[in-house]
């Protein structure tokens, strides 16, 4: 019994001493907290906390973090995430020979094989001393509409800022360069209120164009200068766009030059038929919907009634008044005017700040409203003329593989000086035989006939006009 009471007494003592320690510790904590709160300013306290966190983070340096890159930025409206596309293109360049899940394929009409990673294996990339691991998570394969794929990029927590500031931009830049290199250019035509897309398969390049070398150089220099001058355009407050007017007879290569420019710049082409535009707001919408880094082409601008009808306040052409009532009413709703087009050309109605090239073509420059032709709207007027000596050498080189001199060249040059003939017609002649020499001999005969014909024509014309003169009563 005594033993029991001694034991309980000692346990009571030890409990009370624990309690005393706890009470003293609590009091000290409260005192410290009050002192810290009262004496140390708030900003200084935050700074110390930050430093302490940083210090302890060092001991957690192997912590991994991940970022997720979804296929769609906004899944509701199907807006694609370009970073996902960038990763999809970039990662196949980073796989090693041990990678097990590579997909290989070639799209229809594409020149290059394409590679893609799939979710079976991680891709490990090294960049500026960092190791980054990519994993593709594929969504439901049963329902392709619900395929919400994503990439998970895992790296060391310490490198978070480096990844965001340097690695991701590096990946996007590589992707842009690869995209440009392999790109299939697109041709868009405005039909039924939207741009219809197809591949631009026109093979023309500046090398294949028969143009005088000086003109070719001027055009290339002008394009290069325009692309280099983004900052200058911004500084002087001009929209970053350049207008070209291509004029000349049919078959002199206006369309071929547009394709050569597109292939040179790697710009898509938006071909706008003005007769499918019914109002200025239509015009603005379709021009705004054209992507940046593109060439907007308005062909045969001289053939467009609305563009001629600037002086008419309603913007409707005179011919329209003679239309039947219902047709007339429909046409009256057409309020597309030249001034709408001029506003766009002046940059008032353009959207983004990216480069755009606008090309008008015409067979009759003299019929175009001078307002459209002034610099700032049409910056460079390019005359596509009939075929002459220097340009013919290029056709001979491209079509027949004749580099340098050929004994028939001088004769052909002389004949070309006497006749107006387009590169399209001569090109057809050069395709007739496989033997280059035979082709040139036939061309000499063809041109000689043309020269004789044109001489006869002019003789006939003189005779005809004389006979009119003699028949005309005084």
Query: Which residues contact ligand ATP (rule: CB under 6 A)?
Result: 209-211, 250-256, 363, 384, 423-424, 427
Judged by beta carbon, residue 86 or residue 391, the one nearer ligand ATP is 391
* Closest CA relative to residue 356, chosen from 293, 297, 298: 293
Distance of closest approach, residue 373 Cβ to ligand ATP, in angstroms: 18
Judged by beta carbon, residue 69 or residue 359, the one nearer ligand ATP is 359
Distance of closest approach, residue 408 Cβ to ligand ATP, in angstroms: 20
CA–CA separation, 317 and 386 (whole Å): 34
* Closest CA relative to residue 210, chosen from 410, 427, 401: 427
Judged by beta carbon, residue 11 or residue 201, the one nearer ligand ATP is 201
Distance of closest approach, residue 257 Cβ to ligand ATP, in angstroms: 7
Distance of closest approach, residue 290 Cβ to ligand ATP, in angstroms: 21
Under 8 Å between Cβ of 269 and 186: yes
Residues 202/205/211/217 CA torsion (nearest 10 deg): 140
CA–CA separation, 43 and 133 (whole Å): 38
> How many CA atoms are closer than 13 Å to the CA of 229, on its beta-carbon side?
17
**Nearest residue to ligand ATP on Cβ basis:** 253
Judged by beta carbon, residue 7 or residue 383, the one nearer ligand ATP is 383
Sheet holding 64-70, edge to edge: 64-70, 150-156, 130-137, 123-127
Judged by beta carbon, residue 254 or residue 308, the one nearer ligand ATP is 254
Judged by beta carbon, residue 169 or residue 250, the one nearer ligand ATP is 250
Distance of closest approach, residue 417 Cβ to ligand ATP, in angstroms: 17
CA–CA separation, 101 and 88 (whole Å): 13
Distance of closest approach, residue 360 Cβ to ligand ATP, in angstroms: 12
260-291: buried (b, 16+ CB within 10 Å) or exposed (e) per residue? bbbbbbebbbbbbebeebbbbebbbebbeebe
Distance of closest approach, residue 368 Cβ to ligand ATP, in angstroms: 15
Judged by beta carbon, residue 252 or residue 349, the one nearer ligand ATP is 252
Under 8 Å between Cβ of 423 and 458: no
């Amino acid at each position: 019994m005594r033993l029991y009471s001694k034991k309980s007494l000692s346990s009571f003592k030890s409990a009370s001493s624990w309690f005393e320690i706890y009470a003293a510790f609590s009091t000290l904590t409260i005192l410290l907290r009050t002192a810290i709160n009262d004496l140390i300013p708030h900003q200084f306290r935050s700074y110390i906390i930050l430093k302490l966190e940083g210090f302890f983070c060092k001991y957690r340096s192997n912590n991994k973090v991940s970022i997720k890159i979804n296929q769609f930025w906004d899944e509701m409206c199907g807006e694609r995430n370009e970073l996902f596309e960038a990763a999809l293109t970039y990662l196949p360049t980073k796989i090693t020979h041990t990678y097990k899940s590579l997909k290989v394929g070639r799209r229809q009409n594409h020149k290059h094989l394409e590679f893609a990673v799939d979710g079976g294996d991680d891709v490990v990339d090294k960049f500026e001393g960092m190791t980054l691991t990519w994993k593709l998570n594929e969504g439901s394969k049963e329902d392709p509409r619900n395929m919400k794929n994503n990439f998970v990029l895992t790296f060391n927590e310490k490198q978070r800022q480096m990844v965001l500031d340097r690695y991701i931009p590096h990946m996007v830049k590589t992707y842009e360069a690869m995209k440009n290199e392999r790109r299939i250019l697109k041709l868009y035509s405005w039909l039924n209120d939207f741009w219809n897309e197809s591949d631009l398969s026109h093979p023309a390049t500046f090398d294949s164009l028969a143009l005088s070398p000086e003109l070719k150089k001027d055009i290339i220099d002008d394009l290069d200068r325009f692309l280099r001058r983004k900052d200058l355009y911004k500084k002087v407050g001009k929209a970053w766009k350049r207008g070209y007017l291509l004029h000349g007879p049919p078959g002199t290569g206006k369309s071929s030059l547009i394709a050569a420019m597109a292939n040179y710049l790697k710009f898509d082409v938006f071909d706008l038929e003005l007769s499918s535009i019914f109002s200025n707001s239509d015009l603005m919408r379709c021009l705004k919907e054209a992507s940046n880094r593109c060439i907007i082409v308005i062909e045969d601008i001289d053939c467009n009634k609305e563009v001629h009808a600037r002086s008419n306040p309603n913007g409707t052409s005179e011919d329209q008044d003679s239309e039947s009532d219902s047709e007339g009413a429909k046409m009256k709703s057409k309020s597309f005017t030249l001034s709408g087009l001029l506003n766009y050309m002046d940059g008032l109605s353009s959207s983004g700040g990216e480069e755009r090239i606008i090309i008008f073509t015409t067979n009759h420059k003299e019929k175009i409203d001078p307002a459209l032709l002034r610099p700032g709207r049409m910056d460079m007027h390019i005359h596509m003329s009939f075929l002459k000596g220097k340009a013919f050498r290029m056709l001979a080189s491209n079509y027949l593989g004749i580099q340098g001199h050929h004994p028939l060249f001088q004769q052909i040059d002389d004949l070309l000086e006497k006749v107006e003939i387009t590169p399209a017609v001569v090109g057809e002649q050069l395709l007739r035989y496989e033997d280059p020499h035979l082709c040139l001999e036939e061309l000499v005969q063809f041109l000689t006939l043309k020269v004789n014909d044109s001489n006869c024509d002019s003789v006939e014309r003189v005779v005809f006009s004389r006979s009119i003169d003699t028949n005309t009563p005084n």
